[in-house]
Amino acid sequence: METEKKHSWHFDVFDQKSRWIFITPSEYAKSLGLYVTELGHFIQGGNCITHRIPENTFCLTFTPQNSGLYEVNMHFPEKDYTISSALAGKGVALVDNSPGYSIEQHGQNENYFIQFTGFLAKKYCTLLLQQEYFQPFAMNWLPSLIGIFEKLILLYRQPSNDIRDTYASMLLTKILSRLIISLSTDQPLYSENKYVKCAMEIIEEHYSEPIKLSTVADQLHINSSYLSRLFSGEVGTSFSACVTHVRINHAKEMLRTTELSIEEIGARCGFCNSSHFIRLFHANENITPMQYRNAWNQKTIN
């Protein structure tokens, strides 16, 4: 597809009830890292053609139920996507506008979109898009999403101010965070399993001592293999990884609040020797214990 020099649109039918707002972000809005650039609620029909030139923005687009029969073809420089009315009311799609694209639509369609950008937008959308230009997400909270859209419409019909921009950024964060969490339905955020919770309490209480999976399992009166499977399934990581995580958290606290040597902190946190402590600390924090302490001291001095 040859890149257009400017955005262009053509609609055979564009209902007067449609809404389209262009937002000029304030410097404060930009500093928040996540801000809206366009809002649209289109009711259209016939043949509709859109060309968007490359720009550093992303778009959330969604269609309510009973919006008509339609087919939408999206053409990116390296890939095409087709969307049909069968998806109406069942989810939201995230679009990366950076390569530029064209859209050809046929039929009757009602569509909402929220276009946004910012340095946080890139971080969120990199995780959500997973190297695609277009990514659909199934959801059962589409009415809530439309409600958020309507709140944004009300916000941006008023003059700009810092409170409005903060609230708008918060609403965007809420949408994107919820989509990210939906990607992890097979891995819970935390475990409510009674054995896992009790095991974590034992680890927290005895982190400075040698801790074995079999010993903790015996205290809980369950099989060690079963406890290991619980950690993998409920926490998404191993028992030993959880022990290391707890120990390093306590080590960071000591590095910040005491003048104990690295060797002494490692010993107090249950690591068998200082080399083992330094290696695991660096593997988890991408920095050595001494570098961590120096960075913290520099921060508090400044």
Please count the other Cβ atoms lying within 10 Å of the Cβ belonging to residue 57. 19
d(CA 144, CA 138): 14
8-state DSSP, 87: G
Domain ranges of the chain: 8-182, 194-301
pTM of the predicted model over 0.75: no
Residue 114 contacts residue 36 (beta carbons within 8 Å): yes
What would the two tokens of residue 236 be?
Answer: 């998404």
Q: Regarding beta strands 70-75 and 19-22, do their DSSP bridges make them parallel or antiparallel, or are they unpaired? A: unpaired
pLDDT tens for the chain, 302 residues long, are: 444 467 888 888 888 899 999 999 999 999 999 999 999 999 888 888 889 999 999 999 998 887 777 788 899 998 998 887 767 778 899 999 999 999 888 888 888 999 999 999 999 999 999 889 999 888 888 899 999 999 999 999 888 789 999 999 999 999 999 898 877 655 555 677 899 999 999 999 999 999 999 999 999 999 999 999 998 888 878 999 999 999 999 999 999 999 999 999 999 999 999 999 999 999 999 999 999 999 988 876 55
Assigned architecture for domain 8-182: Sandwich (2.60)
- How many residues are given for the chain? 302
Pairing of strands 8-14, 58-62: unpaired
CA–CA separation, 130 and 112 (whole Å)? 23
* Superfamily classification of domain 194-301: Homeodomain-like (1.10.10.60)
